[in-house]
Amino acid sequence: MISIAQGWAHPLGRLLLQGLAGSALFVYCIGTVMPSAGQAPQNQANALFVDDRARAGAAAAEVVAQSDPLGSAALLIMGQATSTWENLQPPPVAAAEGADKAPTIEREMLGGVEDHAPVRSADENMYESRAYDYLLIEAHNASAKALAKHARRDLTFTHLWEEPAKYRGQLIHIEGRLRRLQRFDASRFAAKQGIPTLYEGWIFEDAYLANPYCVVVTEVPASIKPGEKLEHRVAFDGYFFKRYRYEAGDGKREAPLLIGHGLIDLPPAPVPADTSLAEHLVPAFLTVLAATVLLALGLSWWFLRGDRQVRARLSKSRQATFVDPSAPQGPHGSL
């Protein structure tokens, strides 16, 4: 019979032993280093006791240190089951210095975003999920005043539609009619950064009535309530994220997706002066009437002129001497 020592000396035994040791250290990293929710930390002076990212980082380091693929796979599966990897996201972004300063977006953080596709989760595209959270936190920490001050007003729907990669991360100003607004619970990571709720709105510009923008914000004014059939005129300032594909009633469609801080409820568009049909018809009627009168006067003058010419010829014919052609004529006149 093979002794226990000989079993552990076997290659498979060594792999099993390494896996068990790694699992034990992994559990220590995710359980002991960071206390569970609601439990007071044992040492406030140690950042490891209060930082979820440090716990996730220690667990990731243990995965990398594994020398056998089976042990690494087991730790990865355990981390997924305990939601440890969700903490490997961008760190909280500090608010911009000064109320009038908009955050500067790092283009490197937006790599890996897929256009012509739905918004990807961390499991589907870790880079896009990270970029989404990055823009969301940046926009939330910036003031609406700062975003409005620095937003570009020279970019249109066409720019974002035709060259999404070129304008990704650009801060853009939009005005139009908010037709739909939905409320969603934010992800656990966003909630940890002070963003418990997200609002998805659909804004239609006057120049592109059939092509909306999809916007995601973290705050909305009290005057705007979520609904499916809204008619609010709003302004929005946010970062362009991607050309977003979504399911519509007539099939798959796409729209520019932007992420911002909030919406601004604008007063209704001024109603133009009353331009009723009667006001348009009166000038036209007067014009036609004047033309008719002028035509009648012209025709009357023409007919009167013709009558005078006829009367003149008749009068001249009455005054002429009648000569009888049957009377005989001599060499010196009538006989």
Q: State whether 77 and 205 are in the same domain.
A: no
Which of 265, 284, 311 is the last residue before a domain boundary? 265
Q: Does residue 129 belong to any structural domain of this protein?
A: yes
- Asked if 147 and 139 count as a contact pair (C-beta separation under 8 A), the reply is yes
49 within some domain = yes
The pLDDT of residue 82: 59
Same domain (yes/no): 112, 258: yes
Q: Residue 139 is part of a domain; what is its CATH number?
A: 2.40.50.140
Residue 137 has pLDDT above 80, yes or no: yes
Question: For residue 141, is it within any domain?
Answer: yes
pLDDT given at position 45: 38
Confidence band, pLDDT 50/70/90 cuts, at residue 255: very high
Q: How far apart are CA 219 and CA 185, in angstroms?
A: 12
Q: Are residues 171 and 50 in the same domain?
A: no
Question: How many C-beta atoms lie closer than 10 Å to residue 192's C-beta?
Answer: 15
**Domain contains 258:** yes
Mind listing the pLDDT tens digit for each residue in 185-206? 998 999 999 999 999 999 999 8
Whether residues 256 and 122 fall in one domain: yes
User: Is residue 148 predicted with pLDDT exceeding 80?
Assistant: yes
| 79 in the same domain as 167 | no
Tell me, yes or no, whether 49 and 140 share the same domain.
no
Same domain (yes/no): 83, 188: no
Total domains present in the chain: 2
Do 24 and 161 belong together in one domain?
no
DSSP states of 122-159 = TTT-HHHHHHHHHHHHHHHHS-HHHHHHH-BSS--HHH
- Residue 236 reports pLDDT greater than 60: yes
The whole-number pLDDT of residue 44 equals: 37
pLDDT for the residue 111? 93
What pTM, to 2 d.p., does this model score? Answer: 0.58
Which range of residues forms the domain containing residue 172? 107-265
User: What mean pLDDT do residues 226-242 have?
Assistant: 96
Q: Is the pLDDT of residue 318 over 90?
A: no
Query: Considering only CA atoms, which of 164, 185, 146, 176 is closest in space to residue 242?
Result: 164
Percent of the chain topping pLDDT 90:
44
Cβ neighbours for 309, distance < 8 A, ≥ 6 positions apart? none
pLDDT at 42: 40
The answer to whether residue 238 is domain-embedded is yes
User: What are residue 251's phi and psi, to 5 degrees?
Assistant: 120, -160
**Phi/psi of residue 239, nearest 5 degrees:** -95, 135
